[in-house]
């Protein structure tokens, strides 16, 4: 197999006495679409946050394209990464958040062009052109001069996806990107992600509660519980034939909850 | 005791000189207070323990001592260690540092009000620390703080008579020397009061407007 784009080597994350990730290791191949599922508090979001350098590691190592993320070499020894190293490594990684986190004082277009101009030094005209292509792709070209506050949740999330894509990361992290949306707005965001998955060879990690989407979209599914990977495999296997009792009971719960929700909606309609 | 219009008219040029100095001191003091406050607020958040602790103690120290005492130190005691300041410069530094510790608190609260997600989004799009402050945090934090900052500037303006204690020839000092010279306190002191009212009342109305305008900027 080729060199993994992400190589997580026995990482542990503690918040005080609470161990969120417990000596966890896994690898992601370039271009792979990975879905991380599991009950809340199982540590799956924390992995994305550590990869985006929003959260520090307690111990362990992460390699991105063979290069240390949280460490660097200094005088032949591996030391904690400094801000310059983290800045360089972040170029490879983009993230879309559950609560969008758009910049409310900037227009849609400025939200997308800001970082390419400042961090990559792309000239303003070029950055705008690229931003318009991305807005076209997510179907929001007509909103370019609007402020985020005037957009629906689904529109905000599509702008947030465009903002992350503008930096052309090799790895995209999607952290429960549809969890804060009204049910009728979920599909417009998922279809943008589906399109991305088909048209690009970006590596994508998503934490999601949309089991149906995870099943269609992912090449591989990791099931987490209490900071451990309980089971991993292709979606057909995890969703139809899970080996572990914990995976089975989790899927029973979310699938029946999903069914109830769908029935309720159907009843309303 | 009778109101003497003739004396009022004769006093006007002298009082006017004082008005100009009072306005100068307020304007310069405000600029200093707004700048010092911002830097103190940012320094208080420094990951460097020494810097953040020093700024916090500086704020406590300056707030815990009277402005008048600070002015005396700046003007009468610093020359003993070789630092000679003109009265107005000493006065502006005193006002700026003193009120800077109050505006620092306003900035702190305003910065704390920026959701954590904004810092995280800035990091996720790989902005540097200074780009994050300049492009994301400060532009969002400032508008809601404007009424509170303006409030401190008005308060500072009303405290400028304290500068007369360090021989700044601002309005109060001019009025006092007129009074002492002519043995008439009624007209000069009344005019000082009227002047402060004339500025304060429109300022308060202006402040109400600011509050309405900036209460909720993005909603």
* Residue B18 within a domain: yes
3-state SS, one letter per residue, for chain A: CCCCCEEEEEEEEEECCEEEEEEEEEEECCCCEEEEECCCCCCHHHHHHHHCCCCCCCEEEEEECCEECCEEEECCEEEECCHHHHHHHHCCEEEECCCCCCCCCCCHHHHHHHHHHHHHCCCHHHHHHHHHHHHHHCCCHHHCCCCHHHCCHHHHHHHHHHHHHCCCCCEEEEECCCCCCCHHHHHHHHHHHHHHHHHCCCEEEEECCCHHHHHHHCCEEEEEECCEEEEEECHHHHHHCCCCHHHHHHHHHHHHHHHHHHHHHHHHC
Which candidate, B161, B162, B144, places its Cα nearest to that of B210? B144
The pLDDT of residue B218 is above 60 = no
pLDDT tens string B73-91: 999 999 999 999 999 999 9
Residue A250 in domain: yes
Within-domain flag for A125? no
Classify burial at A260, counting beta carbons within 10 Å of its beta carbon; exposed 0-12, middle 13-18, buried 19 or more. exposed
Percent of chain A with pLDDT over 70: 97
pLDDT tens track for A45-96: 999 999 999 999 999 999 999 999 999 998 889 999 999 999 999 999 999 9
Per this entry, what is the length of chain A? 269
Number of folded domains in chain A?
1
Average pLDDT, chain A: 93
Residue B219, domain member (yes or no): no
Q: What pLDDT, on a 0 to 100 scale, did the predictor assign at position A1? A: 61
A238 min Cα distance to partner chain B (Å): 31
Evaluate whether residue A180 is within a structural domain: no
User: Within a domain: residue A12?
Assistant: yes
| Interface residue A88 vs chain B (CB under 8 A) | no
User: For the domain that residue B182 is a member of, what is the CATH number?
Assistant: 1.10.3720.10
A53 and B127 within 8 Å at the Cβ level: the answer is: no
The answer as to whether B209 is a domain residue is yes
Give the count of domains, chain B: 1
The arithmetic mean of pLDDT across residues B135-156, rounded, is 92
Q: What is the pLDDT of residues B36-70, one digit of tens each?
A: 999 999 999 988 999 999 999 999 999 999 999 99
ipTM for the complex? 0.91
The pLDDT of residue A268: 65
CB-nearest to A54 from B120, B125, B217 is: B120
Q: Domain of residue A18: give its range.
A: 1-92+207-269
Q: Please check whether residue A140 lies inside any domain of the structure.
A: no
Q: How much is the pLDDT for B93? A: 97
**pLDDT band of B214, cuts 50, 70, 90:** confident
Domain of A26, CATH number, reads 3.40.50.300
Q: Say how far residue A234 (Cα) sits from the centre of its chain.
A: 19
**What pLDDT score was predicted for residue B215?**
67
Q: Which residues of chain A have pLDDT under 50?
A: none
Position A163 in a domain: no
CB pairs under 8 A between A and B: 63
Chain B stretch 159-218, residues whose beta carbon is closer than 8 A to a beta carbon of chain A: 217-218
Mutate which: B121, B122, B132, vs A, most A CBs within 10 A: B121
Phi, psi of A19 (to 5 degrees): -95, 115
Looking at residue B167, the DSSP 8-state letter turns out to be T
Residue A31 to residue A124: CA distance in whole angstroms:
30
Residue B122 has pLDDT above 80, yes or no: yes
């Amino acid at each position: 197999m080729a060199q993994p784009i992400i190589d997580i080597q026995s990482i542990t994350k503690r918040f005080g006495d609470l161990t969120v990730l417990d000596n966890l290791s896994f690898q992601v191949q370039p271009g792979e679409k990975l879905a991380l599922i599991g009950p809340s508090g199982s540590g799956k979001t924390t992995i994305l946050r550590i990869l985006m350098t929003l959260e520090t590691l307690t111990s362990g190592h992460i390699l991105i394209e063979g290069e240390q993320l949280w460490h660097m070499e200094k005088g032949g020894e591996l030391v904690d990464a400094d801000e310059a190293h983290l800045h360089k490594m972040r170029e490879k990684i983009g993230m879309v958040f559950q609560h969008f986190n758009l910049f409310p004082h900037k227009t849609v277009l400025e939200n997308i062009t800001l970082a390419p101009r400042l961090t990559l030094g792309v000239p303003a005209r070029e950055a705008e052109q690229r931003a318009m292509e991305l807005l076209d792709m997510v179907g929001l070209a007509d909103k370019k001069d609007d402020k985020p506050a005037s957009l629906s949740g689904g529109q905000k999330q599509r702008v947030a996806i465009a903002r992350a894509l503008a930096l052309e990361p090799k790895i995209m992290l999607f952290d429960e990107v549809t969890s804060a949306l009204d049910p009728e707005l979920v599909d417009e965001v998922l279809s943008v992600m589906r399109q991305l998955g088909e048209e690009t060879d970006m590596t994508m990690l998503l934490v999601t509660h949309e089991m149906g989407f995870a099943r269609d979209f992912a090449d591989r599914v990791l099931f987490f519980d209490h900071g451990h990977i309980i089971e991993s495999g292709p979606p057909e296997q995890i969703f139809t034939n899970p080996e572990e009792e914990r995976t089975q009971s989790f899927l029973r719960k979310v699938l029946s909850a999903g069914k109830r929700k769908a029935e309720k909606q159907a009843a309303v309609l | 005791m009778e109101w003497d219009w003739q004396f009022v008219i004769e006093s006007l040029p002298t009082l006017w000189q004082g008005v100009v100095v009072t306005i100068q001191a307020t304007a310069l003091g405000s600029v200093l207070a707004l700048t010092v406050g911002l830097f103190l607020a940012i320094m208080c958040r420094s990951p460097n323990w020494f810097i953040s602790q020093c700024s916090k103690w500086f704020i406590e120290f300056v707030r815990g001592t009277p402005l008048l005492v600070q002015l005396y130190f700046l003007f009468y005691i610093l020359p003993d260690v070789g630092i000679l300041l003109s009265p107005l410069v000493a006065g502006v530094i005193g006002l700026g540092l003193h009120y800077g510790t109050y505006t620092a608190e306003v900035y702190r609260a305003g910065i704390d009000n920026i959701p954590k997600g904004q810092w995280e989004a800035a990091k996720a799009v790989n902005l540097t620390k200074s780009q994050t402050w300049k492009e994301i945090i400060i532009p969002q934090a400032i508008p809601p703080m404007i009424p509170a900052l303006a409030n401190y500037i008005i308060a500072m303006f009303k405290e400028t008579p304290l500068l007369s204690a360090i021989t700044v020839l601002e309005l109060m000092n001019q009025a006092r020397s007129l009074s002492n010279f002519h043995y008439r306190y009624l007209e000069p002191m009344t005019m000082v009061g009227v002047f402060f009212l004339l500025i304060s009342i429109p300022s308060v109305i202006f402040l109400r407007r600011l509050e309405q305008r900036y209460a909720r900027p993005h909603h």
